[in-house]
Amino acid sequence: MYRQNYLAHAISRASDGRGEGLFLTRHPDGATVRYADFWKNAERMAAVLVAAGVTPGDRVAVQAPKTVAMLELYVGCVLAGGVFLPLNTAYTPAEVAYFLGDARPRVLVCDPEKLEALTPIAVEAGVANIFTLGAGEIGSLIDARAGAEPGFTAVARGAQDLAAILYTSGTTGRSKGAMLTHRALASNSEVLRDYWRFTSDDVLIHALPIFHTHGLFVATNVTLMAGGSCIFMPGFDAGAVLGYMPRATALMGVPTFYTRLLDQQGLGEAAKGMRLFVSGSAPLLAETHERWRAATGHAILERYGMTETNMNSSNPYEGERRAGTVGFPLPGVELKVCDAETGQEVATGQIGVIEVRGPNVFAGYWQMPEKTAEELRADGWFITGDLGMVDADGYVTIVGRGKDLIITGGFNVYPKEVEGVIDALPGVLESAVIGVPHKDFGEGVVAVVVPEKGADVSSEAIIDGVADKLAKFKQPKSVVMLAELPRNTMGKVQKNVLREKYAALLS
Ligand code: AMP
């Protein structure tokens, strides 16, 4: 189907001629959607967008709850030749104003509850049409779709045309719009489908948000490309996910999914028939990997990716899934580790900045040519900003974000190394190590530590515990005990929040 539209063709091929095949079962009501109906509704969405004035290359911004209709809208936008621009549902209207002003979308789709607050902002940004789409699949977009005929002829789009813009989470400075082409999305999903062996027999538990690359592209496009089905959940609910496992084959999650599932009774029994558990978007603790293996017999498959690049590396499907690593570069993806100052490749086992190149890599930041030139080299290598290393067996390990590196008294401290030592101490659940201003050393090491439930752990015990395991300059100068680390919706620890909160601790 849709031969003239690169991405639509790629994601519809597996279901072509299998319209009766099941695409999705919705949680919690169990409603089912067959492929033929999904494509018909996506075509109706495309017709609505074109009628609303969307021409090829126009942005369609969406800040709406996770619903089947939003998935249809994503695919409809691709069919209409538009550029899909999903926004985190947690953004406030003031934040949305920045994105609309930057991306100048033709259409905005928002939650009915936010319509009043967003209308003046959208008008200011020159948005031509606003639709609403709410939880329970209500809103004006649903009404408009009902009035549209299926049978839309997909707008011609080629490999290099833009299919989506996803804004980075922007923990430092302004959030940047990563421009993703039809080819970047199609090629990456195809590689993942094959690498992770997805087929039409698969049933994926889809509990990730669809404003982010993980849930939108990895989970959705891989399911579509395999012609499999998914259990589509508006959000993560550990008990419900456990309940679905006996009728599913795969789960894609962030590390917090796995730690929460480990607290559930009956996990081992429920996970028996599953074939694959994937984790990514944030580091999975080696301890979680081991606990999961002990509880279920499955080794979680950890992979590494980012908004700008889709997925870069993955532990193997067959072969050793090594805890604490993100596996090997995916087929077609080149990955090297370079010195931050010179840009020269470092030796095996040395830490440096990870760079990647391949068809998966984005086309640059939307209207930010200088930023693009700083991070995307002319020869196609993208400087990820992640620090990591490749070991003698070829496994890649992420050591942290470059900006999280602590430089104290001229020495480099990699937070992950210190966190690893602290996490291994008795009674510690997890930790986050940050650098804060220090009058003598420039920066000093601070550890924020979360104790295990019911454990009585003191700051002194942490300081004593690391004393003979870490060089003096790596040891925390202060330890803060917290009940929980601040995390964003993708489970990433917000170290910038911690740095701000404890900025004055050592001064
Ligand atoms: P985002 O663009 O929001 O998906 O964030 C991408 C960043 O998440 C990467 O640059 C990494 O810093 C981090 N990340 C993603 N997957 C992993 C992983 N498996 N282990 C460690 N960090 C990861």
Measured in degrees and rounded to the nearest 5, phi and psi for residue 396 equal -95, 135
CA angle 245, 248, 250 (to 5 degrees): 95
Q: Is the CB of residue 398 below 6 angstroms from any atom belonging to ligand 1? A: yes
pLDDT at 175 over 90: no
Residue 178 Cα: closest atom of ligand 1:
2
Q: Is the CB of residue 306 below 6 angstroms from any atom belonging to ligand 1? A: yes
What does the block give as tokens for 251?
A: 């789960």
Task: Using pLDDT thresholds of 50, 70 and 90, give the confidence band for residue 173.
Answer: low
What does the block give as tokens for 396?
A: 């890649």
- Residue 270 is given by DSSP the state H
Check if the beta carbon of residue 165 is closer than 8 Å to that of residue 367: no
What does the block give as tokens for 456?
A: 């009585």
Measured in degrees and rounded to the nearest 5, phi and psi for residue 289 equal -55, -45
Please report the pLDDT score of residue 240 as a whole number. Answer: 98
Residue closest via CA to ligand 1's atom 10 equals 306
Residue 214 Cα: closest atom of ligand 1:
4
Q: Is the CB of residue 76 below 6 angstroms from any atom belonging to ligand 1? A: no
Residue 279 Cα: closest atom of ligand 1:
19
**What does the pLDDT look like over 316-337, one tens digit per residue?**
999 999 999 999 999 999 999 9
Q: What does the DSSP assignment read for 388-424?
A: EEE-TTS-EEEEEEGGG-EEETTEEE-HHHHHHHHHT
DSSP lists the bridge partners of residue 382 as 356, 376
Please report the pLDDT score of residue 323 as a whole number. Answer: 96
For the segment 480-496, the average pLDDT, to the nearest whole number, is: 92
**What does the pLDDT look like over 76-95, one tens digit per residue?**
999 999 999 999 998 889 88
CA distance 399 to 353: 10
Give me the count of residues in the chain. 507
DSSP lists the bridge partners of residue 434 as 446
Task: Using pLDDT thresholds of 50, 70 and 90, give the confidence band for residue 441.
Answer: confident
**What does the pLDDT look like over 236-267, one tens digit per residue?**
999 999 999 999 999 999 998 999 999 999 99
Share of the chain above pLDDT 70, in %: 99
Q: How far is the CA of 301 from the centre of ligand 1 (A)?
A: 15
Q: How far is the CA of 483 from the centre of ligand 1 (A)?
A: 24
**What does the pLDDT look like over 372-400, one tens digit per residue?**
999 999 999 999 999 999 999 999 999 88
- 288, with CB counted inside 10 A (0-12, 13-18, 19+), is buried
To which residue do tokens 């020869």 refer? 379
Structural element, H or E, at residue 120: helix 115-124
For the segment 137-145, the average pLDDT, to the nearest whole number, is: 97
CA distance 42 to 346: 47
For the segment 278-290, the average pLDDT, to the nearest whole number, is: 92
Q: How far is the CA of 165 from the centre of ligand 1 (A)?
A: 18
Please report the pLDDT score of residue 478 as a whole number. Answer: 97
- Show Cβ contacts of residue 428 under 8 Å, excluding neighbours closer than 6 positions: 422, 449, 450, 451, 452, 455, 457, 462
pLDDT at 215 over 80: yes
Q: How far is the CA of 500 from the centre of ligand 1 (A)?
A: 21
Please report the pLDDT score of residue 170 as a whole number. Answer: 58
- Site to probe by mutation for ligand 1, drawn from 175, 213, 306, 389 as the one with most ligand atoms within 8 Å of Cβ, is 306
Task: Using pLDDT thresholds of 50, 70 and 90, give the confidence band for residue 72.
Answer: very high
What does the block give as tokens for 382?
A: 């993208």
Please report how many Cα atoms fall inside a 13 Å half-sphere around the Cα of residue 390, on the Cβ side: 19
Closest listed residue to residue 435, CA positions, set 365, 491, 506, 369: 506
Please report the pLDDT score of residue 95 as a whole number. Answer: 85
pLDDT at 171 over 60: no
CA angle 422, 417, 466 (to 5 degrees): 35
Measured in degrees and rounded to the nearest 5, phi and psi for residue 72 equal -65, -35
Q: Please state, in angstroms and as integers, the Cα–Cα distance from residue 388 to each residue in 6, 301, 339, 349, 487, following that order.
A: 34, 18, 11, 9, 22
What does the block give as tokens for 300?
A: 């979680």
CB atoms within 10 A of CB 294: 10
In the chain, the N- to C-terminal Cα span, in Å, equals: 63
CA distance 319 to 394: 13
CA distance 339 to 354: 9
Report the mean per-residue pLDDT for the chain: 95
CA distance 353 to 387: 5
Q: Is the CB of residue 81 below 6 angstroms from any atom belonging to ligand 1? A: no
Please report the pLDDT score of residue 238 as a whole number. Answer: 97
